Amino acid sequence: MRTRRLFFALWPDDIQRDALRSIVEALGPVSAGRPVPTGNLHVTLAFLGAVAEDRIPSLRNIAAACSCPAADLVFDRIAWWPRARLRCLEASTLPGAFVSFAQAFHEDLRRAGFKIERRPFRAHITVARNVPSAPSDPSTLLAPGFVWPVRGMALVASTPTPDGSAYEVLERF
Ligand code: ATP
Ligand code: MG
């Protein structure tokens, strides 16, 4: 059975992506590391890894049944995560309804046999990968925070390419 590398994500529409481009440009270039192309910016909701293709309908059913609430996420922190070596925008607090949704969604996926990380969900937008050290700019607060109006989620396939991963939105929920 063929497998696909899959994840659920908040996927920006064109207007939101333009706003993202502006905010990432305003952060300035990373001195080292690989910037995430604007077209790839997203918020991972649940990383599934390799999934057999015949399991995709089950993912569709779970996502369709577990509706993502309308919520405004505020990305207010510029962070560097040493283990993952990434620079990201992070939401320091999340609306309660969104946290409940994420927990219930992860639980539903686990119950159906999908392996989801046990670590608490941290909403973040990765802006650069392979960043070896914290940026010299000590500012870590983004003021005003970058608002992401959540109106649904997407099932996304990831394919490795020589230039980094290529993403394909399979379906929106
Ligand atoms: P690359 O691996 O080529 O640097 P990438 O990390 O963007 O690119 P994937 O590894 O396919 O591509 O990951 C897709 C999304 O899932 C990314 O947002 C990534 O951060 C996230 N992700 C990947 N692995 C995990 C994991 N083990 N746990 C949680 N999220 C993950
Ligand atoms: Mg990866």
Asked whether 5 lines ligand 1 (CB < 6 A), one says yes
Query: How do strand 164-172 and strand 154-161 relate by DSSP bridges?
Result: antiparallel
Please report the pLDDT score of residue 124 as a whole number. Answer: 98
Asked whether the beta carbons of 130 and 33 are under 8 A apart, the reply is: yes
- Type and span of the H or E element at 26: helix 14-27
> Does the C-beta of 126 come closer than 6 Å to ligand 1?
yes
Consecutive 10-residue averages of pLDDT for the chain (173 residues): 97 96 90 92 98 98 94 96 94 96 97 94 96 78 94 96 94 97
Please give the angle made by the CA atoms of 19, 20 and 25, to the nearest 5 degrees: 100
Catalogue the long-range contacts made by 152-155 (C-beta closer than 8 Å, 24 or more residues apart): 152/68, 153/8, 153/9, 153/10, 153/11, 153/45, 153/63, 153/68, 154/8, 154/9, 154/10, 154/11, 155/6, 155/7, 155/8, 155/56, 155/59, 155/60, 155/63
Q: What is the DSSP letter of 2?
A: -
Which ligand is located closest to the Cα atom of residue 45? Answer: 1
Dist. CA 42 → ligand 2 center (Å): 13
- 36: CA distance to ligand 2 center in Å? 12
* Residue 60 pLDDT: 97
Rounded Cα gap, residues 80 and 173, in angstroms: 30
- Please check whether residue 41 is in contact with residue 11, taking contact to mean a CB–CB distance below 8 angstroms: no
